[in-house]
Amino acid sequence: MTRSPLRTETVLREAVAYADESGGVPSMRKIAERLGVEAMSLYHHFRNKDLILDGMVDHVFAEIEPPPPATEWRAALGHHAASMRDVLVRHPWAIGLMDSRGRPGPATLRRHDGVLGLLRANGFPVAGAAHAVSALDSYVYGFVLQELSLPFATAGELDEVASGILDAVGEEYPHLAELIAHRNAHSPAVEFGAGLDLVLDGLERWRA
């Protein structure tokens, strides 16, 4: 029986798909099963699992819309950051992987380079562009990290959890209780936009 050889791109695509569907990083056996292959065969294409995880993370970064190279920086960075949040929320397992892998892949480097290029073309000095990237990325990563750790997915669940906390410990945490009582339509997208505006406004200080 003839086999079409595994290509590393295929392995990564299916591994990402499996992670998206199952909500977590798949085991070597699961990845192999999905490809109609045994687990150990994967080791002919990747020296160890970490390299697969590196590839998966880079695969996710490749989905992020890069900022258009030489446009007005504020709107371009805003769209780019929103796309980043979209992608990271679509692949919730990815952000948890980030802190354990040191070596960025080509898509990751390309994105970094693109953002730096946009800033440099808009009057940011080298050091200012570095500060700007650090601040913007920190905000996006941190926001998504918090968004993913929320103990609810739908608005209905939010109500349940909120009143649960309120009943249990309402008087011990008065300001938290106040916040929960005042809750209005609290969409993550709106909250993200508010903080993003704050950061983008602040970047101005580092321009030439």
Kindly tell me which residue out of 4, 47, 182, 208 binds a second copy, with binding defined by CB under 8 A.
182
Contact between 97 and DNA per CB under 7 A: no
CB of 52 to DNA, least distance (A): 8
Q: Which residues contact 64 (CB under 8 A, 6 or more apart)?
A: 80, 83, 84, 87, 111
Nearest 5°: the CA angle 63, 103, 7 is: 60
Contact between 102 and DNA per CB under 7 A: no
Task: Give the whole-angstrom CA distance, residue 155 versus residue 187.
Answer: 9
For a second copy, the binding residues in 76-95 under the rule CB under 8 A are 92, 95
Kindly tell me which residue out of 13, 34, 49, 131 binds DNA, with binding defined by CB under 7 A.
49
Task: Give the whole-angstrom CA distance, residue 208 versus residue 194.
Answer: 25
Contact between 169 and DNA per CB under 7 A: no
| Residue nearer to DNA on the CB measure, 14 or 50 | 50
Contact between 28 and DNA per CB under 7 A: yes
Kindly tell me which residue out of 15, 32, 64, 94 binds DNA, with binding defined by CB under 7 A.
32
Measured CA distances, 204 to 13, 53, 119, 152, 208 (Å):
39, 36, 11, 36, 9
Task: Give the whole-angstrom CA distance, residue 68 versus residue 114.
Answer: 8
Task: Give the whole-angstrom CA distance, residue 22 versus residue 93.
Answer: 10
38 binds, among a second copy, DNA, none (CB under 5 to 8 A by kind): DNA
Contact between 48 and DNA per CB under 7 A: yes
CB of 30 to DNA, least distance (A): 5
Task: Give the whole-angstrom CA distance, residue 70 versus residue 85.
Answer: 22
Contact between 116 and a second copy per CB under 8 A: yes
Single-letter amino acid code for the residue at 45: H
Q: Which positions touch a second copy (CB under 8 A)? A: 92, 95-96, 98-103, 109-110, 112-113, 116-117, 120, 126-127, 129-131, 134-135, 137-143, 145-146, 148-152, 165, 169, 172-176, 178-179, 182, 184, 186, 191, 194-195, 198-199, 201-203, 205
